[in-house]
Amino acid sequence: MNRVFVYGTLRRGERNHGQIAGALLLGPARAIGYELLDMGPYPGMRLGRGVVHGELYAVDDARLAQLDEFEGHPHLFTRTELTLADGSRAFSWLWNGPPRGTHITSGDYAARAGVR
């Protein structure tokens, strides 16, 4: 099984959660050393000085490949293995392009979108 950290529209209550629904939710998680950008229809995470809040899931190889396709890996977003705040490792998708949109200072897309 692969551990994946999701921070935007794949989270529970968000419009693309169906892409990961049915996967094992391991719980909330945080990624330190990243920042979150609000790019309109979706957020983008990139290296930075903040904390990004999200959810941690366990997915099989087939679901990981499906998520890569959904995220536009490797062109739009790049799947990267990162270290979470608790020291564990997980895959996530980092924005591949130049900075755009507005910085989500809370690091929590769901809170910004009024879901949580």
Share in percent of the chain as helix, strand, coil (round to 5): 15, 45, 40
User: Catalytic residue numbers?
Assistant: 71
Compute the mean pLDDT over every residue in the chain, rounded to the nearest whole number: 94
Q: Per residue in 65-78, pLDDT tens?
A: 999 999 999 999 99
Q: What is the pTM of this model?
A: 0.94
CATH numbers and ranges of domains, the chain: 2-112 (3.10.490.10)
Cα–Cα distances (Å) from 64 to 12, 29, 70, in that order, read: 17, 18, 10
Q: What pLDDT is attached to residue 114?
A: 39
- How confident is residue 36, by pLDDT bands cut at 50, 70 and 90? very high
- How confident is residue 116, by pLDDT bands cut at 50, 70 and 90? very low
Nearest 5°: phi and psi at 19?
-65, -25
